[in-house]
Amino acid sequence: MKVEMKFKGNVSRAVNPNGCKQEVQNQINYVKKQGNYKGANKALILGASSSYGLASRITAAFGSHADTIGVSFERAPRDENMLGTAGWYNNIYFKEFAEKEGLIAKNFIGDAYSLEMKEQVISYIKESFGGKIDLLVYSLAAPKRTDYKTGITYNSALKPIGETVVGENINLETEELFTQVVEPATEDEIEGTVKVMGGEDWEWWIELLKEADCLEEGFKTVLYSYIGPEATHAFYHDGSLGIAKTQAEESANRITNELKELNGKGLICVSKAVTTKASVVIPILPTYLICLYKVMLAEGTHETPIMHKDRVFRDMLYGNEANYDEKGRLRPDSWELSEEVQAKVSQLMAKLTSDNFKTDLTAYNLFRKEFFNLNGFEVDGNNNDEVDIAELLKMQP
């Protein structure tokens, strides 16, 4: 069966497993080219199947030879009309490549927010993973979360607070600009976003792992956040997600206090804007991305998720080039948010029209290619768009 890219708006409805395999291999090759570094030995990655989570797992495994556990919520293939999700194949191929190099690569598929998943992972660590971990990466992004202590399900909403925001966005399906109007979040939506995207669940993971004596001396844990430019502050810094990330910073402080006896630390890493399944559907952000990429390409500082997280791990988390702000947050986003870069991005955004946003004025073509790559299409090194459904159905993570 031949597969081809299908999507609705900015959401993919198709996957090329062969391209996913090649994309994982390409990321591994990038890390290997940078050389080895002394980092984690036993790592747990929550949200491990794509973007920053997958990149973190790859750099830990192939940069510092870490054994890894990945937790993610992905869909398996069912038939020719439903081939599963890209993350399903990313997990499988990561495991295949890691095990070829003698590394442990355990995949858990399910709800990382649930108590059941936490118990399964802890049991595995104690029985089959050496008993302890020295790194936990929290890279979860989800539309909803059920609080296992209360049974209440909360929904996240990326919305402004106290104002209606109007801006230009990109429809990747039609390749057109359109005006987007986003109404302000309600109090319930703000609360739900904090519950889903804040740090409460992160704290519970650390609490349960510590109680089970699964944390190594010097244990580190990091949660990925984003601040971004003024153009996106209505949704991030000043919006419902900003409130959630402020709460996550409070969680980081509590986690650090909880880990004092282990000389451990809870960190917030403010990451760079990149092309992900989440970022392409965030209001107004795609127009910012196509301008940002143009500027950072010219500056020689454009990064994909693997480039960014490999730099974070080898230079900051485990290197001597950590860049902290006044709140103690790691700030690898400093390249993106430099005054010079932001001034140039603002100038480009002011020039965008329906007629020119796909021209060489921006990096639209790169942005679109990176979006396709997320789903295994247009991947460098892969020319195979034929899949065997029977073989796909046999694959297990």
Per-residue tokens: 231: 């153009």
376 φψ region: left (φ > 0), alpha (ψ -120 to 50), beta (else)? left
Burial letters for 237-257: b for 16+ Cβ neighbours within 10 Å, e otherwise?
bbbbbbbbbebbbebbeebee
Name the active-site residue from 89, 236, 288, 318. Answer: 236
Greatest extent of the chain over all pairs of C-alpha atoms, in Å: 60
What is residue 292's three-state secondary structure? helix
Report d(CA 151, CA 145) in Å as an integer. 10
Taking phi over 0 as left and psi of -120 to 50 as alpha, with beta for the rest, 148 belongs to alpha
349: which DSSP letter? H
Q: Is the dihedral of CA 53, 56, 59, 64 positive or negative?
A: negative
Give phi and psi for 224, each to the nearest 5: -90, 130
Contact status, residue 283 vs residue 235, Cβ threshold 8 Å: yes
- Could you give the CA distance from residue 363 to residue 383 in angstroms, rounded to a whole number? 24
CB 63 within 8 A of CB 135: no
> 280: which residues sit within 8 A by CB, 6+ positions away?
10, 172, 286, 371
Is 236 noted as a catalytic residue in this protein? yes
CA 246 to chain centre: 18
CB 113 within 8 A of CB 145: yes
Give the count of beta carbons closer than 10 Å to the beta carbon of residue 320: 6
Write out the catalytic residue numbers.
Answer: 236
